[in-house]
Chain A
C-alpha cells in the first residue's frame, strides 16, 4: 500500500509542480493516472519510490517513509518502476545480465539470481533472447526486458511511467498484455498514461490537472464527465464519444458501456427491438 499525505513538490525554488496531493493506492489495485502534459503525473510517479522526495507532506510505502534513508532500498525493491524510453533503462550489454542487475544490487546469492532471471524472462516471454545484446532488440522487446529487470527484484507494486508511449502498436499490445497478467497475478499496478484507451484496463482512475487531483473514480465514473475531461485537454475513448453522441440524440445507453464490443451489443439490442 502506498499513502501520499498532502504531498507538494517543486523544482528548486520555483512554484509547485504538484501541490497537496493526498492519495492511497491499495494492494492489488490497477490504478491509472492520466493528465495533460505538465499536469504533474510523472512527478507523482517519481514520489512513489523515493526518486523525488516531497517538499512538504509524506509518502509511505507499506508503512515506510520514503524520506527515511534507511528504508529507501526496501521501498525501491517493493516498488518497481518502468520508464518511457526503453533504451535509457538498460544498463548492461547482455539481456540476461541486465535482468540480473537489480538482484545483484540487492545482494541476492548467485544461484538465486539465476533463478530470478529465468523466471522474470519467462514471465515477459523473452527467454529466447537471453543471450542477445540489447541494442539488437526492437522497442517492444527492450521494454519487455526493462519489465523483466523490474520483476527480478520481486516487487509488489509496479509503476509504468508512460511505458507504452514510445512503442509501436505491437510493442504496446505486448506490454499491456504483461500488465494485465501481472495484475491478475496479484501485483499492484500503477499506470501513468496519456492514452485514454489504456485507462479502460484499470479499476480506478486519477485525473491530474495543473498539479492537483481533479477526478478520482472508476473508468465508468470518469467517462461520464466527457466535457470535464475535454476542458482539461483530455479526450475520451472513441466508443465513449460515440455513446455520448447517441445518447444526446435520444438513445439510452448506460454509462457502463465503455468498449467497442459492448457498445455494438447495446446498439444491436436496440435495433432488434
Chain B
C-alpha cells in the first residue's frame, strides 16, 4: 500500500515544458513569483491568467490534476479570504452591524489576495509536476554551484536531498512494518483520544529513528566503498544542455515581466485598487 506512493507530485508526460532544462525552470519560477507580486490590481491578473493557462495546456498536465495541488490550501484560502473581507476598511460601506463592517474595498481585496495565492500555487506546482525530483535536485546543485567559491555546500545539499528522496519510501515501508508489529502485540493506535494516539506513536517512532541511524551508518559505508569522496573530481551522468526551448522560455518570461511593468505605466488606472 505504502509502496505505491509517488514521490513529490511528478506527472509523467512528454511535453515541451517537461523537456525544459531544470535550471531554466527554477529561474523561471523565481521570476514568476516576482511577476505575481508585481500585479497590483485584478486587471493585471488577465495577462498572468493567459500565461498560466497557456503553460498548463502546453505541459499536458490535466487541469483536474493541477487543481489537486490547490486542495491542501483550501483552509488557508478561506481564512485569508475572510480575514481580508472583514478587516479591510476602504471604499463604500455596504453592510455594518456590531463591529463587523463590510466594504467594497474589503470584497475587492479578499478576491485579489485569494486569486494571487492561487496563481502562486498553480505556477510553482507546474514546476514540481513537470520535473522529476532528481532533475530538480540536479538543477538546484548546478544553480548554486558558483557559490562554492564562498564555501556554499551545493553538492552536499543536493546529495542530502537525493538520499532523503531515496529513503522516504523505504522508511514508510519500515514504519508500516513496525506499526503492524506493535498492533499485533496489542498496541492501540487508531483508537482513543488525540493524546492517547500521539502517545501510541512513540513505540513506532523510536524503533524507526534507531533503525534510520543504523541505515545511515551502513549507507555511508556503502557510499565510501563506491569511492564517494564529496563533490570534488566528480563527473555527472547527465549533462545539461540548453536548447532552443530554454531560450524561448527565457524570452517569454522576460516579456511577461516587461508587460507587467510597462502596462501600468501606460494605463495608470490598471494599477489602482478601487
Q: Is the CB of B237 within 8 A of A110?
A: yes
Which residues of chain A are within 8 angstroms of B199 by Cβ–Cβ distance? none
Cβ–Cβ < 8 Å partners of A129 in chain B: none
Does residue A109 face the partner (Cβ distance < 8 Å to B)?
Answer: yes
Bitwise, B122-161 to A at CB < 8 A (1) or not (0) is 0000000000011000000000000000000000000000
Point out the residue from A89, A102, A108 that lies within 8 Å of B219, measured CB to CB: A89
Known contacts A104-B234, A107-B233, A135-B170: A91-B218 contact under CB 8 Å: no
Identify which of B218, B233, B239 contacts A83 (C-beta below 8 A): B218
A91 x B169 contact (CB < 8 A) = no
CB distance from A125 to the nearest CB of B (A): 21
Q: Is A213 an interface residue (CB 8 A)?
A: no
The residues of A that contact B226 with a CB separation of less than 8 Å are 76, 80, 91, 101-102, 105, 149-150, 153
- What's the minimum C-beta distance from A103 to chain B, rounded to whole angstroms? 8
0/1 string, A92-129, CB within 8 A of B gives 1? 11101100111111111110011001000000000000
- Contact partner of A93 (CB less than 8 A), chosen from B3, B162, B225, is B162
Q: When the two chains form their complex, are residues A76 and B162 in contact, meaning their CB atoms are under 8 A apart?
A: no
A76–B223 contact, CB under 8 A?
A: no
Q: Assess whether B237 is in contact with A113, with CB atoms less than 8 Å apart.
A: yes
Nearest chain B CB to A138 CB, angstrom units: 11
Whether B235 lies near A93 (C-beta < 8 A) is: no
Residue of A nearest to B7 (CB): A93
Give 1 or 0 for each of A42-64: 1 = CB within 8 Å of chain B CB. 00001001010000000000000
A contact residues, range: 35 or more
Residues of B with C-beta under 8 A to A46:
221
A85 CA to B228 CA, complexed, in Å: 19
CB-CB under 8 A for A135 and B169, given A80-B225, A107-B234: yes
Q: Is A231 close to B, CB under 8 A?
A: no
A73 to B227: give the CA distance in the assembly, Å.
6
**Cα–Cα distance between A108 and B227 once the two chains are bound (Å):** 12
- B170 with A87: CB separation less than 8 A: yes
List, in ascending order, chain B residues with CB within 8 A of A134's CB. Answer: 166
- Is the CB of B165 closer than 8 A to any CB of chain A? yes
The answer for the CA separation of A106 and B232 in the assembled complex, in Å, is 10
CB distance from A104 to the nearest CB of B (A): 6
Q: Is A12 an interface residue (CB 8 A)?
A: no
Does A77 count as interface, using CB distance less than 8 angstroms?
yes
- Complex interface: chain A residues within 8 A of B7 (CB): 93, 133
User: In the bound complex, do residue A97 and residue B173 qualify as a contact, i.e. CB atoms below 8 Å apart?
Assistant: no
Q: Is the Cβ of B219 less than 8 Å from the Cβ of A107?
A: no
**Closest approach, in angstroms, between the C-beta of B92 and any C-beta of chain A?**
57
> Known interface pairs A73-B227, A93-B7, A136-B3. Does A104 touch B237 (Cβ–Cβ under 8 Å)?
yes
- From 168 to 202 in chain A, residues with beta carbon under 8 angstroms from any chain B beta carbon are none
Does B229 sit at the interface, judged by CB under 8 A?
yes
Nearest A residue (CB) for B226: A102
| CA distance in complex: A150, B7 (Å) | 26
Tell yes or no: A81 within 8 A of B by CB.
Answer: yes
Docked complex: A3-62 residues within 8 A CB-CB of B: 46, 49, 51
- Distance to closest chain A CB from B265 (angstroms): 47
Contacts of B26-42 to chain A: CB distance below 8 A: none
Known: A76-B224, A83-B222, A104-B235. A91 touches B173 (CB 8 A): no
- Pick the 9 closest A-B CB pairs, nearest first: A89-B222, A88-B218, A135-B169, A102-B226, A100-B237, A105-B227, A81-B225, A107-B233, A76-B227
